[in-house]
């Protein structure tokens, strides 16, 4: 079971909670974001990813998380993003003394919306006490997500190529070319969930051809677009339904 909602206090952040199902858990795929995690009462930080990760990287029966927008976590945590790429690190190693108030779960409640809310409040307090994130991060993401080249993005945000690479590693964990690939992957996966044919997806996200898209999905997500689409096809939600953490 997995549920998510937009954060009520952190612009652009997503609050989520999950518990393992009966079958194998879907891998966590790169998205350019960093997460604060609550896992059976323990606090972790998930760095940005360059490959699929098993949910077994942090073992627990119950999870809650706050997915922070790309480029915002380093200021909150006080470390550059490249120090945490593909890692899951206890929060205490980065912010000693930070604790989450005890969260009591009612009998029979497994995923704990209370844990999600408490983690969201903790993230908001950390953000309020932290220096502002790199002011260029949002612009870099916006230009790359729109499909602009690295050179055009550098020009748009007023940086040279080397400056853009350095700022991107500090904010996102990797250079702008890798970030562009990850953002393109997310666009492709979103379109795949709608049932769009692979050839049309390749054109829509700016891949040279369908074979290029297939290589990107295999390298970054560890699967094929067809297999992902079959497992994640969107289904209509009942009117008035919601998934709130």
**What is the β-pairing status of strands 42-46 and 63-68?**
unpaired
Query: What pLDDT, on a 0 to 100 scale, did the predictor assign at position 114?
Result: 82
Query: What pLDDT, on a 0 to 100 scale, did the predictor assign at position 97?
Result: 84
pLDDT in tens, 160-193: 999 999 999 999 999 999 999 999 999 999 999 9
pLDDT in tens, 20-47: 765 567 789 999 999 999 988 889 999 9
DSSP helix, strand, coil percent of the chain (3-state; round to 5): 45, 15, 45
Give the domains, in start order, of the chain with CATH numbers.
Answer: 2-129 (no CATH), 137-232 (1.10.10.60)
Share of residues in the chain with pLDDT > 90 (%): 72
Closest of 72, 45, 69, 67 to residue 57, by C-alpha: 45
Place of tokens 């209370």: 114
Question: DSSP string of 102-117?
Answer: P-PPPTT--S-HHHHH
pLDDT in tens, 91-149: 999 999 887 765 554 444 445 568 888 899 999 999 999 999 999 999 999 999 999 99
User: Are residues 15 and 30 in contact, defined by beta-carbon separation less than 8 angstroms?
Assistant: no
Closest of 191, 195, 193, 184 to residue 220, by C-alpha: 184
- Give the lowest-confidence range in 50-64, 66-80, 95-109, 152-166: 95-109
Query: What pLDDT, on a 0 to 100 scale, did the predictor assign at position 9?
Result: 93
Query: What pLDDT, on a 0 to 100 scale, did the predictor assign at position 41?
Result: 82
User: Are residues 183 and 192 in contact, defined by beta-carbon separation less than 8 angstroms?
Assistant: no
What is the pLDDT of the chain when averaged over all its residues? 88
């Amino acid at each position: 079971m997995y549920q998510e909602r937009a954060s009520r206090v952190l612009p652009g952040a997503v609050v989520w909670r999950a518990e393992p199902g009966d079958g194998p858990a879907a891998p966590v795929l790169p998205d350019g974001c960093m997460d604060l995690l609550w896992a059976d009462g323990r606090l972790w930080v998930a760095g940005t990813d360059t490959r699929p990760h098993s949910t077994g990287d942090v073992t627990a029966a119950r999870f809650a998380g706050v997915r922070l927008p790309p480029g915002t976590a380093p200021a909150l945590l006080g470390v550059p993003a490249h120090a945490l790429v593909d890692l899951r690190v206890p929060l205490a190693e980065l912010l000693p003394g930070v604790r989450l108030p005890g969260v009591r779960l009612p009998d029979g409640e497994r995923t704990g919306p209370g844990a999600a809310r408490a983690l969201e409040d903790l993230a908001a307090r950390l953000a309020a006490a932290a220096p502002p994130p790199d002011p260029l991060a949002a612009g870099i993401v916006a230009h790359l997500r729109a499909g602009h080249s690295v050179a055009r993005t550098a020009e748009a945000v007023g940086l040279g190529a080397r400056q853009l690479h350095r700022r991107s590693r500090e904010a996102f964990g990797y250079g702008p070319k890798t970030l562009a690939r990850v953002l393109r992957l997310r666009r492709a996966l979103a379109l795949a969930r709608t049932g769009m044919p692979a050839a049309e997806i390749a054109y829509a996200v700016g891949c040279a051809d369908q074979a290029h898209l297939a290589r990107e999905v295999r390298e970054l997500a560890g699967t094929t677009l067809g297999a992902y689409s079959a497992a994640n096809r969107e289904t209509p939600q009942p009117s008035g339904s919601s998934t709130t953490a």
